[in-house]
């Protein structure tokens, strides 16, 4: 799933930096624990002039069909180069 997320964001946003981490191990005891929890750090010129919420929406748009189909939770750090 990490590679799929990475590919989608790469194609959709053309980032200069991209890190996708599987953080399922941090959610023991939580609903859906151990699967589907990811953190994304993405730096892209596509975010220029966008508010943080707009940046997050852009990232979500690249993986929209994976939400609840492999991704249970996604935390995002989105920045401009």
d(CA 74, CA 58): 13
* pLDDT score of 11 more than 80: yes
pLDDT for the residue 30: 60
pLDDT for the residue 32: 53
Question: Domain segments of the chain: what residues?
Answer: 2-79
Mean of the pLDDT values across residues 34-45?
Answer: 89
Mean of the pLDDT values across residues 50-79?
Answer: 94
Report yes or no: 1 and 38 within 8 Å, Cβ to Cβ. Answer: yes
CA-CA distances (angstroms) from residue 45 to 2, 41, 65?
A: 22, 14, 24
Q: Does domain 2-79 have CATH number 3.30.300.90?
A: yes
Report pTM.
0.87
pLDDT for the residue 34: 54
């Amino acid at each position: 799933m990490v590679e799929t997320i990475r590919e989608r964001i790469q194609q959709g946003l053309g980032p200069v930096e991209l890190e996708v981490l599987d953080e399922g191990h941090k959610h023991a005891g939580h609903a859906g624990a151990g699967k589907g929890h990811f953190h994304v750090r993405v730096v892209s010129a596509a975010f220029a002039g966008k508010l943080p919420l707009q940046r997050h929406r852009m990232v979500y748009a690249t993986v929209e069909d994976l939400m609840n189909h492999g991704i249970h939770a996604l935390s995002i750090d989105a920045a401009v180069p």
